[in-house]
A and B are shown apart, each in its own frame.
Chain A
């Protein structure tokens, strides 16, 4: 069974608008972390934001925020005020405490920002 599901293969957003990228996850480990990474066409994986399973508040990092709904097992990434440089692949990933440092990635969502 897929542990991380990203149902949007591709998304378009107008420059300066907000966009939400969906991510659902599946785990029986009560302690886990959720990550979002950005991968431009150059290939590097850039860490964006982290949410721990016990964190009471949704994580925010500048224009990025994570809409964490634990009961629904979703961890959607919200990008506010989109910029042309935001065009890239976005990956949701999970790390379970009982799996050490192993990150499990979703299939990714390709975001295109239109001028």
Chain B
């Protein structure tokens, strides 16, 4: 059984640029959630996708957007990057109704 995989592992961008982070969900999981974890903090919910539709969103501006594909993989897009966007971005997948969300190793994004 393949777990949740995220790419890239690390990324460095400059202010104003755009970035796309990718996530492959665990086999059979149809729900993907994205979280932002700033240094020294707990993860913050960005949004969730279920069957290619956004199914809940946290307190993040519209420049954070996402997609889910028919194979349930997902992308997180962030436009007009700001210094505060520097964080670990975590993707988690689950089967709807199943309790635990299984996380990937994350993408460390640094904004210069």
Query: Which A residues are within 8 Å of any B CB, using their own CB?
Result: 4, 33, 35, 37, 42-47, 50, 52, 91, 93, 95, 99-108
**Inter-chain contacts of A33 with B (CB < 8 A):** 99
* Interface positions of B (Cβ within 8 A of A): 31, 33, 35, 41-45, 48, 50, 55-56, 58, 88, 90, 92, 94, 96, 99-106, 108
User: Which chain B residues lie closer than 8 Å to A105 at the CB level?
Assistant: 35, 42-44
* SS of B interface (majority): strand
Whether the Cβ atoms of A101 and B100 lie closer than 8 Å is no
Q: Which residue of the partner chain B has the closest CB to A37?
A: B103
A15-B85 Cα distance, complex, nearest whole Å = 38
Do A101 and B43 touch across chains, with their CB atoms under 8 A apart? no
Interface centre among B42, B44, B55 (most CB of A within 10 A): B42
Known A101-B33, A102-B45, A102-B58; contact A44-B104, beta-carbon cutoff 8 A: yes
Q: Which B residue's beta carbon lies closest to that of A44? A: B105
With A33-B99, A45-B103, A50-B99 known as contacts, the answer to whether A101 contacts B55 (CB < 8 A) is: yes
> B43's contact among A52, A91, A99, by CB below 8 Å, is which?
A91
Query: Could you tell me if B56 and A100 are in contact, using CB atoms closer than 8 angstroms?
Result: yes
- Contact residues in A for B44 (Cβ distance below 8 Å): 105
The CA of A47 and the CA of B90, in the complex, are separated in Å by: 14
Chain A residues with Cβ below 8 Å from B43 are 45, 91, 103, 105
The answer to whether A45 and B92 have CB atoms under 8 Å apart is yes
Known: A52-B99, A101-B48. A43 touches B42 (CB 8 A): no
**B31, B50, B99, B108 interface centre (most CB from chain A within 10 Å):** B99
Q: Which of A42, A50, A102 contacts B56 (CB 8 A)?
A: A102
